[in-house]
Chains A and B, each alone.
Chain A
Amino acid sequence: MSILLQLLINGLIAGAVYALVASGFSLIYSTCKFIHFAHGAVIAFSAYFLYFLFAILGLEFYISVLLSVVFASLLGYGLNFLVYKKLRDRKASDFILLISSLALLILLESLILMSFGAEVKTIGFIEVSKGIDIFGAIITPLQIVIIAVSVLLLFSLLLFMKKTRLGKAMRAVSDNKNVAEIIGISSEKIYAWSFIIGSALAGVAGILIGLEQNLEPTMGTSLIIKGFTVAIIGGIGSIPGAILGAFLLGLAENFGIWYLPSGYKDAIAFVILFLFLLLRPKGILGIKREGDKEQ
């Protein structure tokens, strides 16, 4: 019983992190309608930036965290402004945007590799603490914080999308860009905001992962793989879907490696991805996209 409970807890922790990764990614996809792989690099950059400020420069921890989130946000905004906006201006296809985001992912990862080296880094703010015992399953205080922060942020994001002017404008652009522009919403402005908010979420995800695990230059790639798997499971572009998908994947992976060697953890994600793409490409909560009609 305690093993099942432990797997459940591990699944929830993984799910909480994936949900942060995927909700930012999905937010950007829902308005901009292309796959922003470099989102993974933004996550990695924010974790490394925290490492740089806190472990190397020796700044106050909470100031470093704040600066890292701001930095991630600016990085996302910068990528949109310097690359994606220019590509959109000359009406590049989604595939070109996708390839350019792949190039950005590799570029940023290589930059991290060059400046920090390939060896694994630890932020070292939290000393290894004893876990709390819940009916025989172990959870550390940091893991509780991860789940709490994630749930809080996701809840605020949903509220933000539902209630605020900007959130509504984002949903409008996501539904139908042309109509949104007719009623005076600037889509470029909304794209920029999606990148700012989405990347800030990526920043938080990077920090939480950086505290819980170690930092590696390629951490972004493996996270974004999970991010888009989750986004597709949940219905790409749907934020509630992404959150649902994230917890589903987190649980599936952790229960899956009970039977399989742990190296197959990533493969589990892909088997699920394949099944969804084949059987239900619009995901659990997804809406049909314009392109789907042609089929």
Chain B
Amino acid sequence: MIEAYFIHLLILIGIYLILAISLQLSIGYTGLLNLGHMAFFCIGAYASALLALSGFPFVFCLIFAGIMAMIFGFILAIPTRKLKGDYLALTTMGFSFVIYAIALNWTELTRGPLGIPGIPKPSILGISFSSNLMFLVLTIVVALLSYLIISRIVRSKFGKVMEAVRDDELSARVLGKNSFKVKFLVLGISAFFAGVAGSLYAHYITYIDPSSFTLMQLIPILCIIIIGGMASMRGTLFATIILVLLPEPLRFIGFPSSMVGPMRQIIYALVLLLILLYKPKGIDGKVEM
């Protein structure tokens, strides 16, 4: 029993980690104030769920979920390329509301508020990942790969250009760097990983509905990247573990289950406020927003 619970928490940590490091890529490293991350997560989850239900193999669904989200990332990047600061934040947030409204209303495709039940557990080359332990192994592999790829990106030459665009876009352009191209690629890559996380989430919970992809769900992720610190991969990893575990004691104190949800949100919101007020650089932040 207690093992099953720990496995569940570890899977959540894996999924949140992918979401957080991919958001870190756009906010922390490139300074793109992207508040539409849940939209990519949502697109990935729905794409993967619908494909799997039509009989496609899991690996295809996972990759296609990422690509689908990436396409939307590119689509969002083109019109927003000139926006800055809070305008960009608002537009990306608006984008996530539009995606939410579509998920809720395009009932022929998404079944709207009823959600999509019975998403099959993954199986790769005949190996079934239907037990939670096996799913954990899968999540760890995907999370680790994502972590390594993103670490690689931020350490590469391209990563340096990203940071240059964040610190001083004008100078980066004076040095001949195409800042629009950088932003375009970063938003796409960031969306790709969010889509992959969405696919994992859909196949783990086996049920998705639009309510899993709201603004409320963005708060924990923002919390993670701010506590972890801007542009810090290690910090993000620590923060993910801490923040997934933080509200868990609530389960054992014996509050009625209707209270636990709002209390989790209160904890996340309070932690976020306190960190912004008293330790804005987070655990290991390189720069302040």
Chain B residues contacting A83 (CB-CB under 8 Å) are 273, 277
Contact B269 A106 (CB under 8 A): yes
| A250: interface (CB < 8 Å) | no
Instruction: Give A264 to B101 CA distance when docked, in angstroms.
Output: 7
| A6: interface (CB < 8 Å) | no
- Which residues of chain B in 231-289 are interfacial with respect to chain A, using CB atoms and an 8 Å cutoff? 258-259, 261-263, 265-266, 268-270, 272-273, 276-277, 280, 288-289
Q: Which residue of the partner chain A has the closest CB to B35?
A: A102
Contact A87 B262 (CB under 8 A): no
Interface centre among A87, A90, A103, A113 (most CB of B within 10 A): A103
With A87-B277, A110-B266, A117-B258 as contacts: A267 and B86 at CB distance below 8 Å: no
- Return the CB mask of A112-126 against B: 1 if under 8 Å, else 0: 011001100000000
Q: Which residue of the partner chain B has the closest CB to A35?
A: B86
Question: In the complex, how many residues of chain A place their beta carbon closer than 8 angstroms to a beta carbon of chain B?
Answer: 46
Instruction: Give A281 to B222 CA distance when docked, in angstroms.
Output: 26
Q: Describe A's contact surface by its main secondary structure.
A: helix
Contact A103 B83 (CB under 8 A): no
Contact B265 A261 (CB under 8 A): no
Q: How many interface residues does chain B have, given as a range? A: 35 or more
| A181: interface (CB < 8 Å) | no
Q: Total A-B residue pairs with C-beta atoms closer than 8 Å?
A: 124
Q: Which of B94, B104, B262, B288 contacts A270 (CB 8 A)?
A: B94
Instruction: Give A277 to B94 CA distance when docked, in angstroms.
Output: 11
Instruction: Give A94 to B288 CA distance when docked, in angstroms.
Output: 12
Q: Which of B82, B102, B262, B272 contacts A267 (CB 8 A)?
A: B102
Contact A107 B79 (CB under 8 A): no
| B71: interface (CB < 8 Å) | no
Instruction: Give A171 to B38 CA distance when docked, in angstroms.
Output: 37
Contact A291 B84 (CB under 8 A): yes
| A142: interface (CB < 8 Å) | no
Contact B89 A98 (CB under 8 A): yes
- Return the CB mask of A164-203 against B: 1 if under 8 Å, else 0: 0000000000000000000000000000000000000000
Instruction: Give A109 to B288 CA distance when docked, in angstroms.
Output: 28
The 9 sampled A-B contact pairs (Cβ below 8 Å) are A92-B276, A94-B86, A100-B276, A102-B222, A104-B269, A106-B216, A270-B101, A294-B84, A294-B170
